[in-house]
Amino acid sequence: MSDIFESLESEVRSYCRGWNTVFDRASGSFLYSEDGHEYLDFFSGAGALNYGHNHPALLRPLLEYLLSGAVVHSLDMKTKAKRRFLETFHELILKPRDLNYKVMFPGPTGTNSVEAALKLARKATGRFHVLGFTNAFHGMTLGSLAVTGNSMKRQGAGIPLTHASSIPYDGFLAGETPDFLWLRSALADSGSGLEKPAAVIVETVQGEGGLRAARASWLRELSEICREHDILLIVDDVQAGCGRTGTFFSFENTGIVPDIVCLSKSISGFGLPLALTLFKPELDLWKPGEHNGTFRGNNPAFVTGAAALEHFWQDRKFEQEIAAVTAQLHEGLRLIANATEGATVRGRGLLAGIHYPDPTAAGKIAAESFSRGLLVETSGPEGEVLKTMPALTISTTELRHGLEILAEAAEAITGQKIVLRTVA
Ligand code: PMP
């Protein structure tokens, strides 16, 4: 059956192909289609809905703001909503973590934040080369695509992607080569042919590239190398940030302090577009208006963003709740993975999933899950990893229900019996 989505919308559409239904309403961890089906959401808007759909603590102030006649669009002008967001972000996020960053609003998407980070790193160092990692994902515009690994996505650029190269992420060489042997050697040898980079850009967990999670020791060594060689360290926390891995920033317990941090997706908390690029004050070398854009001051997103920080990040309680849900998710994933030889659990916090040795398995399980009322996607260059990303606010009962659907779907595809008995 052809519909307006198929007849009019470009072939580039993607999620709507696997999840071929028309969504209508959403609440918490559930989406509802117009034909009355309920879907439990283990996708969370690719990380843009960490607090679930339409959370009342965010919806209420948003509606009040809109009904009050307050300013909606204002580029980067001063507004009350922006002041409140900046004050709240400073008080609840930066100050308690002893992080001294300036805040830039680069435009509302993750790739906007990454482009600003790359541009600033190049401006600050006077160098143009940037190192990214195997299987990295940083966005679809030319600068961020140049540090993205996926060959299909890279091909879409239509021009050579330059001034960047890819080095092995943690685990890429299966531990057979000492970490950073190549990077240290190449930086030390003037004959290596490696252009000294302005920056290294890294995800602490590769959300799109297969849920590989870097070890803290690996990140620390990377950070040390950057410091030794005067290279800027950019952490792209667009997907792993805002609590997804258990702490507000994904690097919090690793002992590194990046020079530049990219945030987007869940920073508005409500699924409204908003992005930040954070950097150390000495890097604030922008001239006024040197990097601008029409949609940098999204006031409705400032309102929900501030409300989300106030509601969830006043103290450490939310982190404890995330830890409890994480334990339940990982235990469930472990039991599901155990049923298939060679399958392993990957990821960190609520950015976790199962790597299957058969690269077609995860896609089939995701499709089967959809037909059973669960939204779950795949990750990795071949879609070989089943990727679960429930809302951080999901209840124990909802999570168990989702894991049961996943287990049934995995059983149907792999033919292996799965018992989830021990999951709370
Ligand atoms: N960086 C990371 C780590 C991401 O996961 C994504 C989106 N999946 C982006 C950047 C790009 O964000 P956006 O799609 O909003 O441009």
Token pair listed for 138? 């940083």
Ligand 1 centre distance from Cα of residue 179 (Å): 26
Residue whose CB lies within 8 A of the most ligand 1 atoms, among 109, 141, 239, 385, for a mutation test: 239
What whole-number distance in Å separates Cα of residue 23 and Cα of residue 32?
A: 6
Rg of the chain taking only CA atoms, in angstroms: 21
What whole-number distance in Å separates Cα of residue 424 and Cα of residue 328?
A: 7
CA-265 nearest atom, ligand 1: 15
CA-141 nearest atom, ligand 1: 16
Ligand 1 centre distance from Cα of residue 98 (Å): 26
CA-48 nearest atom, ligand 1: 15
**The pLDDT value given to residue 272:** 98
Ligand 1 centre distance from Cα of residue 112 (Å): 9
Q: Whose CA is nearest to atom 12 of ligand 1?
A: 110
Interstrand relation of 260-263 and 276-279 (parallel, antiparallel or unpaired)? antiparallel
What whole-number distance in Å separates Cα of residue 412 and Cα of residue 354?
A: 16
In the block, tokens 């993750």 appear at: 110
Ligand 1 centre distance from Cα of residue 141 (Å): 10
For 60-312, the fitting CATH number among 3.20.20.70, 3.40.640.10, 3.40.50.11540, 3.40.109.10 is 3.40.640.10
What whole-number distance in Å separates Cα of residue 133 and Cα of residue 47?
A: 21
Ligand 1 centre distance from Cα of residue 111 (Å): 6
What whole-number distance in Å separates Cα of residue 76 and Cα of residue 98?
A: 26
Token pair listed for 303? 């309102």
What whole-number distance in Å separates Cα of residue 320 and Cα of residue 300?
A: 29
Ligand 1 centre distance from Cα of residue 95 (Å): 26
126 half-sphere exposure, CB direction, 13 A CA radius = 0
Main-chain dihedrals φ then ψ at residue 31, nearest 5 degrees? -120, 150
CA-46 nearest atom, ligand 1: 8
What whole-number distance in Å separates Cα of residue 182 and Cα of residue 111?
A: 28
**The pLDDT value given to residue 408:** 97
Q: Whose CA is nearest to atom 13 of ligand 1?
A: 110
Question: Tens-of-pLDDT digits for all 424 residues of the chain?
Answer: 569 999 999 999 999 999 999 999 999 999 999 999 999 999 999 999 999 999 999 999 999 999 999 999 999 999 999 999 999 999 999 999 999 999 999 999 999 999 999 999 999 999 999 999 999 999 999 999 999 999 999 999 999 999 999 999 999 999 999 999 999 999 999 999 999 999 999 999 999 999 999 999 999 999 999 999 999 999 999 999 999 999 999 999 999 999 999 999 999 999 999 999 999 999 999 999 999 999 998 999 999 999 999 999 999 999 999 999 999 999 999 999 999 999 999 999 999 999 999 999 999 999 999 999 999 999 999 999 999 999 999 999 999 999 999 999 999 999 999 988 755 5
Ligand 1 centre distance from Cα of residue 292 (Å): 20
Helix (H, G, I), strand (E, B) or coil at 298: strand
**The pLDDT value given to residue 423:** 53
| CA-based nearest residue to 41, from 49, 51, 31 | 31
Q: How many CB atoms lie within 10 A of CB 103?
A: 15
Ligand 1 centre distance from Cα of residue 206 (Å): 11
Q: How many CB atoms lie within 10 A of CB 173?
A: 14
What whole-number distance in Å separates Cα of residue 179 and Cα of residue 173?
A: 9
CA-236 nearest atom, ligand 1: 3
CA-140 nearest atom, ligand 1: 16
* Contacts (Cβ under 8 Å, ≥6 apart) of 150: 135, 137, 208, 209, 381
Residue 173 backbone zone (phi > 0: left; psi -120 to 50: alpha; other: beta): alpha
Ligand 1 centre distance from Cα of residue 208 (Å): 9
CA-136 nearest atom, ligand 1: 3
Ligand 1 centre distance from Cα of residue 196 (Å): 26
Would you tell me the crossing angle of helices 396-414 and 317-338 to the nearest 10 degrees? Answer: 20
* Under 8 Å between Cβ of 76 and 107: no
What are the boundaries of each domain within the chain? Answer: 4-55+316-414, 60-312
Q: Which amino acid is at 101?
A: Y
Residue whose CB lies within 8 A of the most ligand 1 atoms, among 238, 298, 379, for a mutation test: 238
What separation, in Å, do the N-terminal and C-terminal C-alpha atoms of the chain show? 42
Main-chain dihedrals φ then ψ at residue 23, nearest 5 degrees? -80, 145
**CATH domain 4-55+316-414 topology:** Aspartate Aminotransferase, domain 1 (3.90.1150)
Token pair listed for 206? 């590769």
Residues with CB under 6 A from ligand 1: 46, 109-111, 114, 137-139, 203, 207-208, 236, 238-239, 264
Alpha-carbon 251 to chain mean position: 13
**The pLDDT value given to residue 424:** 53
**The pLDDT value given to residue 245:** 98
